[in-house]
């Protein structure tokens, strides 16, 4: 496993933050919007990841309305805390009608909930306390706003996180789903180290502005959904039926025509995977973490076997010619929206 430095601290006595290039993404572990979860399997998957060198885990309160964080807390309770990096988030409230309405949804019990993007000062402080309890720890390594909240000044939000850093409850501040303008503004109020954004072979829009900005200003990019929610595994075929509460059913990526086109692309790069005795999914993950500006890739796993496979992707050796060939085939892929 390779570990990459996210950013140097602005406090000399505080150690740098290093993350495993494959970081465990715990959204699906919470079950919400993924058709449910099996708690014991999720715990095993996280522990198997750790044994394979994946020391970094990304979660959020909204994932299962606290369930994902509880599962992460259970999985790491017997592990040495200084050997694990906990990444969680704030700013998505399902228990408070304040801020920007993000979506109407249902919890794991099928009950309707309204989710709001809200990052007011008191809310951030409260969310941190709740996350620490669920995670069973006294500090969070990287605390990230989940989505921009246009009803709260960024200065107010970042001052709240600064207070948490001073109190030792948070080590580093990050953001998610921020564009370059929002990153610039947030950086005026806090030592910002990272931006977590969607990035995959079929979603590369950040390469235009965000990647150059982050490279220039030494900000880490944490790529989420690098497998595009299972699309790039090659296992999904036209006619695939999703569970009723699986959010992927409504995404254009999973239209039959796009499944066909993606699978044709994957068949072109499969010889590289076969030559290295790895799966298509592992090859996709390796390509992702080799792209300029991409610091780590988040990969979820439903069980221990998936966790082992994701971790092993970091050990694949790709030369520049192979990376360029994959990208060449990828550039010829066009999806229908």
Q: What is the pLDDT along the chain (337 residues), one digit of tens a residue?
A: 999 998 765 555 677 899 999 999 998 776 555 555 577 888 989 999 999 999 999 999 999 889 999 999 999 999 999 999 999 999 999 999 999 999 898 887 888 889 999 999 999 999 999 999 999 999 999 999 999 999 999 999 999 999 999 999 999 999 999 999 999 999 999 999 999 999 999 999 999 999 999 999 999 999 999 998 888 988 888 777 777 667 777 778 888 888 889 999 999 999 999 999 999 999 999 999 999 999 999 998 888 888 999 999 999 999 999 999 999 999 999 888 8
Q: What is the largest CA-CA distance in the chain?
A: 56
DSSP conformational letter for 105: E
Strands 85-90 and 192-198: unpaired
Structure tokens at 221: 């990019």
In whole angstroms, give the CA distance from residue 330 to residue 283: 13
CA angle 314, 76, 1 (to 5 degrees): 15
Q: Among residues 279, 257, 258, which one has the least CA distance to residue 269?
A: 279
Distances (CA, A) of 308 to 51, 75, 312: 9, 16, 6
In whole angstroms, give the CA distance from residue 216 to residue 89: 25
| Cα within 13 Å of Cα(323), Cβ side | 13
Residue 8's pLDDT is what? 62
Residue 300's pLDDT is what? 87
Q: Among residues 115, 96, 105, 87, which one has the least CA distance to residue 27?
A: 87
Domains of the chain, residue spans: 3-230+278-316
Residue 9's pLDDT is what? 57
Residue 24 in contact with residue 86, Cβ under 8 Å? no
**Pick the catalytic residue: 63, 116, 172, 199?**
63
In whole angstroms, give the CA distance from residue 267 to residue 256: 16
CA angle 203, 208, 209 (to 5 degrees): 115
3-state secondary structure of 323: helix
Q: Give the domain 3-230+278-316 fold.
A: TIM Barrel (3.20.20)
Against a cut of 0.95, is the pTM above it?
A: no
Distances (CA, A) of 126 to 102, 119, 139, 174, 180: 20, 10, 14, 18, 28
Strands 100-106 and 85-90: unpaired
In whole angstroms, give the CA distance from residue 337 to residue 329: 20
Structure tokens at 335: 């999806």
63 given a catalytic annotation: yes
Burial class (CB in 10 A: 0-12, 13-18, 19+), 41: middle
In whole angstroms, give the CA distance from residue 115 to residue 98: 9
* Per-state percent for the chain, helix, strand, coil, to nearest 5: 40, 20, 35
Task: Let me know how long the chain is.
Answer: 337
Residue 132's pLDDT is what? 98
Residue 12's pLDDT is what? 58
């Amino acid at each position: 496993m390779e570990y990459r430095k996210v950013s140097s601290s602005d406090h000399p006595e505080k150690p740098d933050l290093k993350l495993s290039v494959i970081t465990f993404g715990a959204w699906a572990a919470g079950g919400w919007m993924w058709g449910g979860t099996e708690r014991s399997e999720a715990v095993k998957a996280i522990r198997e990841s750790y044994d394979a060198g994946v020391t970094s885990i990304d979660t959020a309160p909204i994932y299962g309305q606290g369930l994902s964080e509880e599962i992460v807390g259970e999985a790491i309770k017997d592990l040495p805390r200084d050997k694990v990096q906990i990444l969680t988030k704030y700013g998505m409230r399902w228990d408070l009608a304040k801020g920007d309405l993000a979506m109407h949804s249902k919890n794991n019990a099928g009950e309707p909930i309204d989710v709001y993007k809200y990052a007011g000062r008191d809310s951030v402080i409260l969310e941190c306390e709740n996350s620490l309890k669920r995670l069973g720890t006294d500090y969070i390594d990287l605390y990230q706003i989940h989505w921009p909240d246009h009803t709260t000044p960024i200065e107010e939000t970042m001052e709240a996180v600064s207070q948490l850093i001073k109190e030792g409850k948070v080590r580093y501040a990050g953001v998610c789903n921020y564009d370059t303008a929002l990153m610039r503004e947030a950086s005026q109020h806090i030592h910002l180290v990272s931006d977590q954004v969607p990035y995959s072979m079929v979603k590369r829009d950040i390469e235009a502005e965000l990647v150059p900005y982050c490279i220039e200003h030494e900000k880490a990019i944490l790529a989420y959904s690098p497998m595009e929610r299972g699309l790039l595994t090659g296992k999904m075929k036209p006619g695939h039926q999703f569970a009723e509460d699986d959010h992927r059913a409504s995404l254009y990526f999973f239209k039959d025509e796009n499944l066909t086109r993606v699978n044709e692309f994957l068949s072109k790069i499969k010889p590289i995977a076969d030559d290295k005795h790895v799966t298509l999914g592992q090859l996709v993950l390796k390509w992702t973490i080799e792209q300029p500006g991409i610091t780590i890739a988040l990969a979820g796993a439903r069980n221990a076997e998936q966790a082992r496979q994701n971790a092993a992707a970091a050990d694949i050796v790709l030369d520049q010619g192979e990376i360029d060939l994959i990208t060449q085939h990828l550039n010829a892929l066009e999806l229908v929206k």
